[in-house]
Structure 1
Amino acid sequence: MTLVNRGLDEWRAEIPLAENARVLFAVRAWTDLYGSWLADLKKRVEGGAADVSNEVCEGVRLIAEAGRRAKGVDRNILDNAAAELKDAAKDPRLALETASRSVTVDLMALWEEKRDAVASRPELEITVDRPLARFGAWYELFVRSQGTAPGKSGTFRDAEARLPDIRDMGFDVVYLAPIHPIGRTGRKGRNNSLAAGPADPGSPWAIGNESGGHTAIEPSLGSMADFERFVKKTRALGMEVALDFALQCSPDHPWVKEHPEWFYRRPDGSVKYAENPPKKYEDIYPLNFDSGRPRALWEEVRRTLLFWIERGVTIFRVDNPHAKPLAFWQWLIRDIQTGHPEVFFLAEAFTRPPMMRALAKAGFSQSYTYFTWRNTKPELTGYLTELAGSDMAEYFRPNFFTNTPDILPPVLQTGGRPAFMARAALAATLSPSWGIYSGFELCENEAVPGKEEYLNSEKYEIKLRDWNGRGNVKDWIRRLNKIRRENLCLSRLDTLAFLETDNDQVLFYEKCLPDRSSPLWIAVSLDPSKKQECLLNPPKDPAGTDFTARELISETTHAWNGPCRFVIEPSRPALIFRAQRKPS
């Protein structure tokens, strides 16, 4: 450990964590006898003491005692150090110089007796996730909407045909909306209507019917073999599959009959359906984790996860985890990761910040955030300062989704294509993990009037899309993800720093590596409907302010000497500069 503030006794240590595992450690402390003696000797010598022979004798004794405990060549070095210090006893400055040799100080720290050593209890634990849990681009899709025939459900084979295009855009994770059998009782029709027609597929979050529950496949999507093939094909392209893990059931789920105690009952004996006022979900029963005998439910959830892990799934996006007990998540995630450390979980928790933080500490590797509702410069700088500049950066990993099947932000409803480009640029460069829900690349923005919801929502119907439709932003997304892959600083959250600009409609910030190397300077328009002129003021460098900056989207090079003026156009609402100091 390194002493960083002697007056406050603050120490720092860095532990290399190269293995995907759980690591236990403790902080051990003791009285530094030799260091204390050496500090006292230094004070005496620098104070002009003419005779330090008694003090030298004490130091010789300490070194000799450590030498008797040392092994191998260390013993010889310490024995020689004791003899040399004894010989220097009559010359205070020579004695201090001899006692202060770094090799002696280092070996004394290793071999001197630590009589009063104490260690922190309990031992501290670090969960070492694999890199994708920290840095990745997510693409969410509904398998049933990947087909090519109107009104007909897409299949895993259809979704497989789309994988090269998703990979070409630079995504790392293909996140699937629920793929399980969909309930029939209370099935919702288009736009969440209570009357479902015979052709309405229902919401995939209403899980379970006569074909099975959470370990079954919706028959219209294909077979389990088709799913396993899809997982393998995804991996072959360098991506991974994430499954939606929604712990809720349709009234037709096998658990409703097999385990009625797992559900909430009204006073009249009927099962309580899900509600999030003013929203009602008559097609969904929430699970009762507060029942008198929850252990069987916990074990069944564990068995369900292991079922999908055995079929190649190692990432789970958990629906509404804040509605389940924290103790359950602590137990479940620890249990799963003990046998499968490669597995990690994304919390879809749009809830109060204390609960979001608690879920991260309970084991969730990533979390959804308030990014979709942060649009102005004060909103973004305040929120990102909290995420990157507080202790949250040590345990809370954000995943900035630009949109979700439930959320079509007003900025996308009204801002047109430039808004989609700007929000993608913000998400991809501010957060190490980011994602889009399919249709974003096509700038889909038709909303229910007055709400943050998609009109003709894909949650209740099958969509047929032209994936290369006019006005798409696929090239923009591809460029952003390419820049992410080529600039490791974008995998960091804790190095984010906001920079000066004279335009409140431009957010200007820096990302760099921990040693301040390889910086990117990023400017994004917050009102991309208009041309924005701005003076960009990069951070001052002690070695000078003359830079060349490569703008990575347009692939142009700019000389940069102090503040520079730029124009950000609606057709290209972000500038990303890789800075290089000019050679002297």
Structure 2
Amino acid sequence: MTVKAPRARSRRTATPSVPDLAAVGEGRRRVIIEAVEPIIDGGRYPVKRIVGDTITVRCDLFADGHDELAAVVRYRPLGAKAWHEAALRHLVNDRWEGQFPLTSIGRHEFQVVAWIDRFATWVHQLEKRLAAGQDVQVDLQIGAALVGEAARNADGADAAVLHVAEAALIAGDVDTAFAGEIYALMAIHLPRRFATESEIYPITVERERARFSAWYELFPRSTATEPGRHGTFRDVIKRLPYVAELGFDVLYLPPIHPIGHTFRKGKNNSLTAGADDPGSPWAIGNADGGHMSVHPQLGTLDDFRALVDEARKYGIEVALDIAFQCSPDHPYVREHPEWFRARPDGTIQYAENPPKKYQDIYPFDFETDAWQELWQELRQIFVFWIEQGVRIFRVDNPHTKNFRFWEWCLNSLKAEYPDLIFLSEAFTRPKVMYHLAKIGFTQSYTYYTWRTTKAEITQYMRELTTPPVSDLFIPNFWPNTPDILTPQFYRGQRAVFITRAAMAATLTASWGMYGPAYELMEHTPVPGREEYIDNEKYEIRYWNLDAPHSLRGFIAQLNRIRRNHPALHRNDTLRFHRVDIDFHEHEWLLAYSKTSLDGQDIILVVVNLDPDHTHRGWVQVPVADWNLTNIYQAHDLLTDARYQWSGEFNYVELSPAAPVHIFRIRRLRRDERGFEYFA
């Protein structure tokens, strides 16, 4: 048997590749920055805030070893060269926090910068050495070098103070070295060696009306002062005192453009229109023009501009509906057939949601080869109405149009006109609604219309007021719209109309209603559908604003309370309160509160959700959190009744005739003469 000798192994081995250190950047940066808040999708989309807000930034900061850290959040308007800074402070467990003010509308940005605080580290170590009785001569020389480095980076009086401290440390005179403002000066002037910078994160800062607003929707063609006549912009001007009396600051008009004739809808959405049927305002365009024209029976562009100007005198802004769709008669159909989808038989695809068909509407084809020209034209529609004085737009069904178009269009418009407000009418899936908020829509319709029980309302409001949703989504609560009449209204109970309006106006800082249908308590639906019978979308209505059953007085009072109480101007202080009956949570009585940021204005709302029965219970008041004495006052702002309360649980009773309390909680005060009063 022959045994083969083993093959000799080669002494040569593969040389491992050396990573490119240039790709590392500055490798001496030791601080790690993680978990920065608030940001949306890693900073892809801007956080949303209101001018005048103070934004709180939090992050995790840590480094190797035991050195002390320092950090700032720096911030600036987008495009500005200079940064402003605010210090971050350590909270607990490597979590840091800082705040900075937002003083102008538009796009802003912020960044966290963190570094090893060499001076604080030296001071901390020096204190321990001194406490241990160690010789610190060398350590004082190290400190003197740090102070000298800062002095060379300063000038004027600051440099002089630092040089004195430097000399004192060299001489071993610690007391003199630390006698001045050395800590503050070192924080300013000692160079931040090897600082770590986070990504730059965006913020959109909106004007105040983006968060706090009250919208009133009406159809201009139904504003005539006598039955049987088509209303005009001049009639709407005459209606402004009424809208102002109700306390609304946004007047929203459905589309005001020429209406198509082909496949025009008749009353109650009939497929056959009569000779006098005006058609749906959302079937936009005919021979008189399209999206940049006004319906001839409403008046002229001059009349519209007069309406916008006159509304401002009442503190009201006019909001326009933008619906990107066309009637078959729209000039775009003739001039740009490539913007629409063609069917195999050569006809244009009309809108449909099978089995429903909307032959009077052609949707735009956002997959057209001419998409760039389409995008530019649609953006120009906004620009046209902006030039007529409009700064607020309600956008119809944005979730059925290209999201990338909206992101480009809205953000480019707001870069030029930062005071614009866009309300998204997207009753669709939550993630889609939230994405529309991310890409540029200011406010959004919500699911409030369908949230009716205590559990549903509580859960939904907690979702809307908790990050990340609250960082991007500004809700606007509407109890009704021309498209939506939900079942709770079908019996026409006054209590339902009161409670739904009261909750919409106090749960969120922005609310709206479709009138005069709401204040006149219209409640008859199309059989089998959540929609009004004899709908204004398809016919002209005459409204008796002076009807004795009108809720106009209540609505006006509700909006007056909102205006007068800063607690109701925001959503982030919303808090729900327990209401007990027989030591169990009451299912019909809903209680919640809001407070102003300074804690001086406290509003507590209690609602009876049952329109048929009186309910009683004990509402829990957070006495300690609100800094209340044992005796305090609950002042009902709706009735002016005043109740002296004490302790944590207090009795409430609400009937269908009076189903809401809006309490102002007043603390017991004592003046300089010793007299006690509630304020």
Q: Cα–Cα, structure 1 residues 431 and 6, in superposed 2: closer, same or farther, change >3 Å? A: closer
TM-score w.r.t. length of structure 1: 0.95
Q: Out of 472, 484, 488, which is 2:562 matched to?
A: 484
Offset at 1:507? Answer: 1.2
> How is 1:94-173 mapped onto 2 (pairs within 5 angstroms)?
99=178, 103-121=181-199, 123-173=200-250
> How is 1:344-493 mapped onto 2 (pairs within 5 angstroms)?
344-414=421-491, 416-438=493-515, 439-493=517-571
Q: Deviations over 1:404-441 (max 9, x none)?
A: 00000111223511111101110000111100001101
Q: Secondary structure at the match of 1:485?
A: helix
Q: Distance in 1 between matches of 2:374 and 2:504?
A: 37
1:523 pairs with 2:606: yes
Q: Distance in 2 between matches of 1:484 and 1:75?
A: 54
Offset at 1:112? Answer: 0.8
Q: Deviations over 1:104-156 (max 9, x none)?
A: 222212111112123333x3222221111111100001000111333321111
Q: Deviations over 1:508-544 (max 9, x none)?
A: 1110123444211111121133222121111131654
Q: Deviations over 1:219-255 (max 9, x none)?
A: 1111111111111111111100000000000000000
1:499 pairs with 2:577: yes
Task: Give the letter for the 1:536 counterpart.
Answer: V
Offset at 1:25? Answer: 2.9
Q: Deviations over 1:306-345 (max 9, x none)?
A: 1111111110000011112222111111221122112121
From the two aligned structures, give the one with the greater helix fraction.
1
Q: Which runs of 5+ in 1 are unaligned?
A: none
Larger Rg: 2
Q: Distance in 2 between matches of 1:54 and 1:504?
A: 72
Task: Give the letter for the 1:486 counterpart.
Answer: N
Q: Out of 309, 318, 327, which is 1:250 matched to?
A: 327
1:69 pairs with 2:153: yes
1:581 pairs with 2:670: no
Task: Give the letter for the 1:26 counterpart.
Answer: Q
Q: Cα–Cα, structure 1 residues 335 and 3, in superposed 2: closer, same or farther, change >3 Å? A: closer
Q: Distance in 2 between matches of 1:82 and 1:574?
A: 69
Q: Secondary structure at the match of 1:221?
A: coil
Q: Deviations over 1:136-193 (max 9, x none)?
A: 1000010001113333211111111111010011000000011000000010011111
1:234 pairs with 2:311: yes
Q: Distance in 1 between matches of 2:641 and 2:251?
A: 33
1:555 pairs with 2:632: no
552-561 vs 203-212, greater mean Cα deviation: 552-561
Q: Distance in 2 between matches of 1:45 and 1:277?
A: 83
Residue equivalent to 2:15: none
540-549 vs 461-470, greater mean Cα deviation: 540-549
- The answer on whether the counterparts of 2:140 and 2:170 sit within 8 Å (CA) in structure 1 is yes
Q: Secondary structure at the match of 1:576?
A: strand
Q: Secondary structure at the match of 1:346?
A: strand
Q: Out of 601, 620, 623, which is 1:540 matched to?
A: 623
Residue equivalent to 1:79: 163
Residue equivalent to 2:263: 186
Q: Out of 296, 300, 314, which is 1:223 matched to?
A: 300
Offset at 1:381? Answer: 0.6
Offset at 1:85? Answer: 4.3
Q: Out of 320, 326, 338, which is 2:403 matched to?
A: 326
Offset at 1:206? Answer: 0.3
Q: Secondary structure at the match of 1:566?
A: strand
Q: Distance in 2 between matches of 1:346 and 1:375?
A: 23
Offset at 1:2? Answer: 4.9
Q: Distance in 2 between matches of 1:237 and 1:551?
A: 28
Write out the 4+ residue segments of structure 1 that deviate beyond 6 Å after TM superposition: none
Task: Give the letter for the 2:279 counterpart.
Answer: G
Q: Secondary structure at the match of 1:26?
A: strand
27-36 vs 373-382, greater mean Cα deviation: 27-36
- The answer on whether the counterparts of 1:417 and 1:471 sit within 8 Å (CA) in structure 2 is no
Q: Distance in 2 between matches of 1:470 and 1:152?
A: 24
Q: Distance in 1 between matches of 2:317 and 2:137?
A: 70
Alpha-carbon RMSD across the aligned residues, in angstroms, is 1.9
Residue equivalent to 1:25: 110
Task: Give the letter for the 1:522 counterpart.
Answer: V
280-289 vs 270-279, greater mean Cα deviation: 270-279
- The answer on whether the counterparts of 2:91 and 2:97 sit within 8 Å (CA) in structure 1 is no
Q: Cα–Cα, structure 1 residues 33 and 468, in superposed 2: closer, same or farther, change >3 Å? A: same
Q: Distance in 1 between matches of 2:594 and 2:172?
A: 53
Offset at 1:88? Answer: 5.3
Q: Distance in 2 between matches of 1:432 and 1:277?
A: 37
Q: Distance in 1 between matches of 2:577 and 2:657?
A: 23
Q: Out of 104, 122, 125, which is 1:37 matched to?
A: 122
Q: Distance in 2 between matches of 1:10 and 1:114?
A: 21
Q: Distance in 1 between matches of 2:160 and 2:388?
A: 59
Q: Distance in 1 between matches of 2:171 and 2:576?
A: 59
1:336 pairs with 2:421: no
Q: Distance in 2 between matches of 1:565 and 1:296?
A: 64
Q: Out of 128, 131, 142, which is 1:58 matched to?
A: 142
Residue equivalent to 2:28: none
Q: Distance in 2 between matches of 1:478 and 1:565?
A: 28
Q: Deviations over 1:242-284 (max 9, x none)?
A: 0000000000000011111111222222211112345321110
- The answer on whether the counterparts of 1:415 and 1:529 sit within 8 Å (CA) in structure 2 is no
Q: Distance in 1 between matches of 2:161 and 2:454?
A: 61
Aligned length: 576
Q: Secondary structure at the match of 1:219?
A: coil
111-120 vs 230-239, greater mean Cα deviation: 111-120
55-64 vs 553-562, greater mean Cα deviation: 55-64
Residue equivalent to 2:16: none
Q: Percent identity?
A: 46
Q: Out of 85, 96, 118, which is 1:11 matched to?
A: 96
Q: Cα–Cα, structure 1 residues 510 and 87, in superposed 2: closer, same or farther, change >3 Å? A: farther
Q: Distance in 2 between matches of 1:44 and 1:441?
A: 76
Residue equivalent to 1:275: 352
Offset at 1:476? Answer: 0.9
Q: Distance in 2 between matches of 1:572 and 1:2?
A: 51
- The answer on whether the counterparts of 1:163 and 1:234 sit within 8 Å (CA) in structure 2 is yes
Q: Distance in 1 between matches of 2:636 and 2:91?
A: 44
Task: Give the letter for the 2:664 counterpart.
Answer: R
> How is 1:173-212 mapped onto 2 (pairs within 5 angstroms)?
173-212=250-289
Q: Distance in 2 between matches of 1:412 and 1:81?
A: 76
Task: Give the letter for the 1:571 counterpart.
Answer: A
Q: Distance in 2 between matches of 1:6 and 1:488?
A: 30
Q: Which runs of 5+ in 2 are unaligned?
A: 1-85, 581-585, 671-679
30-39 vs 240-249, greater mean Cα deviation: 30-39
Residue equivalent to 1:571: 657
Q: Cα–Cα, structure 1 residues 102 and 443, in superposed 2: closer, same or farther, change >3 Å? A: farther
TM-score w.r.t. length of structure 2: 0.82
